[in-house]
């Protein structure tokens, strides 16, 4: 058995040991897989993402730049949304950063419900009304295409920060106001399908993977929670989408 | 090697379609292309040892300098590291001693290490290794013997069948760096790619071939 194979069997995401919430110390991360599936649409496969990401970090030997525990996958047989919210609350209360690997967007919504007061940095192609309606302003990264008029009105009236995918790919990645503490939600559909096909949403003219890594890495926020959704690894045989998720997560944790 | 032998060996796949030859065929300033079938000793990754074979089978003739020759593979002993290194150093040294310049193709970075020792042994001085990924070292004089390090892991993920990183160089950037390398390049190692056989593997193989061609052209030039 090769070292890479051994590592796959004994280590969790990014080389972290598997463990319990109680084993996480303040300043650590707690990685949790929530393999929910998108409810409709032709591009399924988000439920495969948590395990695919663990496997890919094992193959690459890509370690996280922080310590912590991989808490395994959440059991989705019951009311998992409530269980996820409780778990996230418990981690945040203990000063542990939850890193939640979805799954579909319902995973991120549960995380945001658990942390209602913090601003959100949302990397996604289409602005969402429920996120825009939160008390603190959201920063939108990588918007692309026609946006819902009512959501756009909110964004404009409340002077939220936003950048389109094109802005960012052309190097205009600076935001005038950046929160000190925030929740980071990366919907992998923010990436152009042509660069990384393993996503649940079709987003032509979306961001390049390396732009996403650079933009998130350059943000000076202290991330209180990070959630990744919309990755459908089986649709990308080369693993570019998983690589984009892993490098973005590493960039966020390294600098934030 | 006589004409009869050339005819007999014409069908053997060789790097860039160059003639197949042996150590005694080498003359000064010739370009010797040599395969390195070992990927378990330095930054190991299984599959890198097949790069030389893949590039030979994918090669077309007419793309290499006229004085290039394929010497086959160096003998390796991957399970006996000490014996392995001394054997590879000796073989690389024997090639360089003829006055030929050489490129070691495939495997892991242990080939480059052996090449470095061989270069040092032949020139009697430390031979700097210039990496194409780290930019051009402008402090090298034109007559300074150097070894070129071409790690194909430095290619950006979009060029690879199984990407390991998003950022990196394009083949065009790498080739430009190879041509702009200062010093008198006496040897080079092209390594770090485990070639795949799918459609993307075809892309990365073609990129690697173009890079290998640039390396042979740079070796032919010697000092710029």
Q: Considering chain A, what percentage of its residues have pLDDT values greater than 90?
A: 78
List chain A residues with CB under 8 Å of B46. Answer: 2
Whether residue B158 lies within 8 A of chain A, CB to CB, comes out as yes
Q: Considering chain A, what percentage of its residues have pLDDT values greater than 70?
A: 95
- Residue A105 sits in a domain of what CATH number? 3.40.800.10
Check residue B183 and give its pLDDT.
87
pLDDT digits (tens, 9 = 90+) for B56-77: 999 988 888 999 999 999 999 9
* Cβ neighbours, 10 Å, residue B93: 17
Partner-chain contact A213 B166, CB within 8 Å: yes
Average pLDDT over residues B188-211: 88
Q: Is B54 helix (H, G, I), strand (E, B) or coil?
A: helix
Whether residue A60 lies within 8 A of chain B, CB to CB, comes out as yes
Examine residue B8 and state whether it is found in any structural domain, yes or no: no
pLDDT digits (tens, 9 = 90+) for A126-164: 999 999 999 999 999 999 988 999 999 999 999 999 999
> Which of A238, A247, A251 is the mutation pick for testing B, counting most B CBs within 10 A?
A238
Task: Tell me the HSE value of A182 on the side-chain side, using a 13 A CA sphere.
Answer: 25
Examine residue A109 and state whether it is found in any structural domain, yes or no: yes
Contact assessment for residue B127 and residue B92, using Cβ atoms and an 8 Å cutoff:
no
Higher pLDDT, A54 or B45: A54
Identify any residues that bridge with A34 across adjacent strands, giving them in sequence order. A102
Handedness of CA B176, B181, B186, B192 (dihedral sign): negative
Contact assessment for residue B167 and residue B128, using Cβ atoms and an 8 Å cutoff:
no
pLDDT digits (tens, 9 = 90+) for A53-108: 999 999 888 889 999 999 999 999 889 999 999 999 999 999 999 999 999 999 99
Check residue A40 and give its pLDDT.
79
| The overall pTM is greater than 0.90 | no
Residue A7 has pLDDT above 90, yes or no: no
Examine residue A122 and state whether it is found in any structural domain, yes or no: yes
Which helix H or strand E contains A140, and what residues bound it?
strand A139-143
Dist CA B43 CA B108 (whole Å): 6
Number of domains chain B is built from: 1
* Cβ neighbours, 10 Å, residue A76: 17
Examine residue B181 and state whether it is found in any structural domain, yes or no: yes
Residue A9 has pLDDT above 70, yes or no: no
Q: Is A86 helix (H, G, I), strand (E, B) or coil?
A: helix
Number of domains chain A is built from: 1
- Residue B48 sits in a domain of what CATH number? 3.40.800.10
Examine residue B3 and state whether it is found in any structural domain, yes or no: no
Residue B6 has pLDDT above 90, yes or no: no
Examine residue B2 and state whether it is found in any structural domain, yes or no: no
Examine residue B5 and state whether it is found in any structural domain, yes or no: no
State which residues form the domain around A224: 97-256
Mean pLDDT of chain B: 90
Whether residue A209 lies within 8 A of chain B, CB to CB, comes out as yes
Q: What is the CA radius of gyration of chain A?
A: 17
Examine residue B9 and state whether it is found in any structural domain, yes or no: no
Examine residue A77 and state whether it is found in any structural domain, yes or no: no
A244: closest chain B residue by CA = B166
Contact assessment for residue A59 and residue A2, using Cβ atoms and an 8 Å cutoff:
no
Examine residue B1 and state whether it is found in any structural domain, yes or no: no
**Cis peptide leading into residue B56 (ω within 30°):** no
State which residues form the domain around B160: 14-221
> Which of B163, B165, B169, B204 is the mutation pick for testing A, counting most A CBs within 10 A?
B163
> Under 8 Å CB-to-CB from B174, ≥6 apart: which residues?
B132, B133, B150, B154, B155, B211, B214
| Cα distances (Å, whole numbers) of residue B172 to A100, A194, B206 | 39, 21, 12
Examine residue A162 and state whether it is found in any structural domain, yes or no: yes
Dist CA B107 CA A78 (whole Å): 51
């Amino acid at each position: 058995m090769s070292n890479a194979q051994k590592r796959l069997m004994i280590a969790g995401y990014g080389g972290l040991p598997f463990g319990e919430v109680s084993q996480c110390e303040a300043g650590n991360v707690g990685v949790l897989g929530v393999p929910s599936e998108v409810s409709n649409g032709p591009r399924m496969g988000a439920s495969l993402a948590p395990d695919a990401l663990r496997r890919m970090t094992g193959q690459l030997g890509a370690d996280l730049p922080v310590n912590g525990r991989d808490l395994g996958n959440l059991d989705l047989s019951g009311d998992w949304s409530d269980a996820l919210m409780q778990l996230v609350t418990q981690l945040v209360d203990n000063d542990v950063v939850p890193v939640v690997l979805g799954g579909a967007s319902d995973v991120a919504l549960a995380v945001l419900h658990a942390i209602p007061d913090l601003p959100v940095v949302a990397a996604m192609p289409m602005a969402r009304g429920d996120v825009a309606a939160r008390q603190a302003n959201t920063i939108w990264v990588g918007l692309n295409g026609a946006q819902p008029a009512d959501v756009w009105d909110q964004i404009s009236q409340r002077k939220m920060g936003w950048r389109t995918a094109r802005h960012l790919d052309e190097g205009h990645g600076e935001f005038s106001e950046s929160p000190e503490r925030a929740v980071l939600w990366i919907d992998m559909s923010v990436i152009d399908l042509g660069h990384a096909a393993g996503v649940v949403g079709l987003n032509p003219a979306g961001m390049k993977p390396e732009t996403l890594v650079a933009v998130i890495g350059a943000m000076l926020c202290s991330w209180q929670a990070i959630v990744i959704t919309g990755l459908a690894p089986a649709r990308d045989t080369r693993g570019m989408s998983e690589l984009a998720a892993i490098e973005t997560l590493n960039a966020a944790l390294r600098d934030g | 090697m006589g004409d009869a032998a050339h005819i007999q060996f014409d069908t053997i796949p060789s790097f860039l379609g160059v003639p197949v030859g042996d150590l005694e065929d080498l003359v000064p300033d010739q370009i010797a292309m040599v395969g390195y079938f070992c990927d378990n000793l330095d930054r190991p990754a299984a599959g890198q040892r097949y790069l030389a074979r893949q590039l030979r089978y994918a090669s077309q003739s007419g793309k290499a300098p006229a004085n290039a020759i394929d010497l086959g593979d160096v003998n390796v002993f991957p399970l006996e590291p000490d014996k392995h290194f001394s054997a590879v150093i000796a073989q690389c040294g024997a090639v360089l001693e003829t006055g030929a310049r050489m490129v070691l193709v495939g495997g892991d970075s242990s080939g480059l290490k052996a090449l470095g020792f061989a270069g040092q042994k032949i020139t009697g001085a430390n031979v700097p290794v210039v990496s194409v990924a780290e930019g051009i070292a402008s402090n090298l004089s034109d007559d300074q013997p150097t070894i070129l390090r071409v790690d194909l892991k430095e290619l950006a993920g979009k060029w690879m069948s199984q990407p390991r990183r998003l950022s990196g160089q394009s083949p065009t950037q790498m080739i430009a760096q190879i041509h702009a390398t200062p010093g008198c390049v006496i040897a080079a190692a092209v390594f770090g790619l485990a070639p795949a056989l799918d459609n993307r593997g075809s892309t990365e193989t073609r990129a690697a071939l173009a890079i290998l061609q640039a390396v042979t052209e740079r070796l032919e030039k010697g000092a710029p």
